[in-house]
Each structure stands twice: as C-alpha cells, then as structure tokens.
C-alpha cells in the first residue's frame, strides 16, 4: 500500500538547503511513500478574526494536510526556534477549535543547518507543539543534518555514501512508523482533537 505523505519545508527561500534536503529524502524514500509538498508561502499571518471565513490559501492548506496519510517537516532553525512561516502554518492548521487538521497524523521532523548542532533546538520546540496537537511523532532516529553543499545534487542525489545510508534509514523508519500509527487509527476519527491553541 502506498501512503500519501505531505512534506512542509520550513523556509520560504527557493534555494533553501532544507528544500535540497527534501529532494534527497524523496529520492531515498521507499516505494511505499508518495511525497508531495504542502506549500506554506501564501498563507496570511494567523488572525483568529479570520478563522470562520479564511482565504482560499488557508482552506487549501488544511485540505492538503487532512488529505495526507502522514506529514514530514523539513525545516531550518531560526533563532533557536521554529521558523515563523512554519509556526504560522501550524497555527492555521490547528484552527478553528474542533478542526485540528494535524490530529493523529504520523509525523517526522528533520532539518539541515550549516552549524554543528543541526536543528536540534527547533526540533525540540516542534515536538512540544506536535504533542499538544495530538500528532504522533517518530522519536528515533533523530536527524540533525549538518549541511555540506558538495554532498547534495540538484536532483536529490547524495554523493556521500554514509549520508545517503543515514537518510535512507531515516525514511525507512518513518515509513514503518506511518504503518504502525495508521494500523491503530480508527477510520473516521481523523482531525477530531480540540486543542484551543490561542485565546
């Protein structure tokens, strides 16, 4: 069975190293995963006043999240936290109250940085947010990628054998995690968690 996985790139930059990483993950992903980007670029800043009459970009975003069997977050770390565009997307997806699009979606978090600690602090923050949103997370292996441009090709090819092996292992583990979560998730119960994230 093929599972539809929506991936979100936390940077809006077209030449983001995390977009490069996403291409590499698609290349090494097992055949059981079909990965499609869920764009976040056109989402307006979250405003509770607009929840009940959102612009089409919000409606389309929530529909894409809800239509995915699982979600993969590929993101940089900004100022030791989640990039604002990604957090904004998560806030929209969790609202309005009673319509949390992330509930019970198996998730994975991975990110690349030129620094030595990768995106560890961002991922820690993301785990807190996703836990509140009732989105199960792949806890191991953790993946904090120190980005080396000479390793990654434009087509997603990974030149370093060790790096490719690790990324392939990560995606294999994520695929198995998706299978486990979906096997115990009852049909018809997606998205019924009600976290009231903002007041």
Confidence of residue 187 (pLDDT cuts 50, 70, 90): low
H-helix or E-strand containing 150?
Answer: none
What pLDDT shows up at residue 109?
A: 98
163-178: average pLDDT: 98
Mean pLDDT rounded to a whole number for the chain: 92
Q: Which of 106, 108, 121, 114 is nearest to 179 (CA)?
A: 106
Local confidence band at 192 (pLDDT 50, 70, 90 cut-offs): very low
182 pLDDT more than 90: yes
Q: Does position 198 have pLDDT exceeding 90, yes or no?
A: no
Angle (deg, nearest 10), helices 161-184 and 17-28 = 70
**CATH top-level class for 3-184?**
alpha beta
Instruction: State how far the Cα of 116 lies from the Cα of 113, in Å rounded to an integer.
Output: 8
pLDDT, residue 153, reads: 92
Residue 56, SS3 per DSSP: helix
**Bridge-partner residues for 36, per DSSP?**
6
pLDDT band of residue 195 (cuts 50, 70, 90) is very low
Q: What is the mean pLDDT of residues 44-70?
A: 97
Residue 193 has pLDDT above 90, yes or no: no
How many angstroms separate the CA atoms of 9 and 12, rounded?
8
Is a pLDDT exceeding 90 seen at residue 186? no
Q: Rounded to a whole number, what is the distance in angstroms from the first to the last CA of the chain? A: 41
Q: Is the pLDDT of residue 24 over 60?
A: yes
Q: Average pLDDT of 50-63?
A: 97
Instruction: Kindly state the percentage of the chain with pLDDT values over 70.
Output: 93
Per-residue pLDDT tens over the stretch 125-157? 999 999 999 999 999 999 999 999 999 998 899
Question: Which residues fall within 8 angstroms of residue 139, CB to CB, at 6 or more apart?
Answer: none
State the pLDDT at residue 116.
Answer: 78
Rounded Cα distance between 22 and 16, Å, is 10
Confidence of residue 1 (pLDDT cuts 50, 70, 90): confident
Tokens of 50: 């607009």
pLDDT at residue 22 above 90?
yes
In 3-state terms, what secondary structure has residue 43?
coil
Beta strands in 88-168 (DSSP E): 107-113, 144-146
The domain spans of the chain are: 3-184
Going by C-alpha positions, the residue among 56, 22, 55, 21 that lies closest to residue 36 is 22
């Amino acid at each position: 069975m093929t599972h539809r996985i929506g991936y979100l790139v936390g940077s809006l930059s077209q030449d983001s190293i995390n977009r490069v990483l996403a291409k590499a993950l698609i290349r090494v992903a097992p055949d059981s995963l079909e990965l499609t980007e869920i764009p976040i670029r056109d989402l307006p800043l979250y405003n509770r006043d607009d929840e009940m009459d959102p612009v089409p970009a919000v409606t389309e975003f929530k529909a894409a999240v809800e239509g995915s069997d699982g979600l993969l977050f590929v993101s940089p770390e900004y100022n030791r936290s989640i990039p604002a565009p990604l957090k904004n997307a998560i806030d929209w997806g969790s609202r309005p109250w009673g319509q949390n699009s992330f509930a019970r979606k198996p998730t994975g978090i991975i990110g690349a940085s030129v620094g030595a600690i990768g995106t560890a602090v961002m991922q820690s923050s993301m785990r807190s947010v996703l836990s509140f949103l009732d989105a199960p997370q792949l806890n191991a292996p953790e993946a904090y990628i120190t980005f080396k441009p000479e390793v990654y090709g434009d087509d997603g090819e990974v030149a370093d054998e060790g790096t490719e092996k690790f990324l392939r292992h990560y995606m294999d583990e994520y695929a198995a995690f998706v299978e486990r979560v979906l096997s115990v998730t009852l049909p018809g119960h997606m998205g019924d968690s009600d976290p009231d994230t903002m007041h």
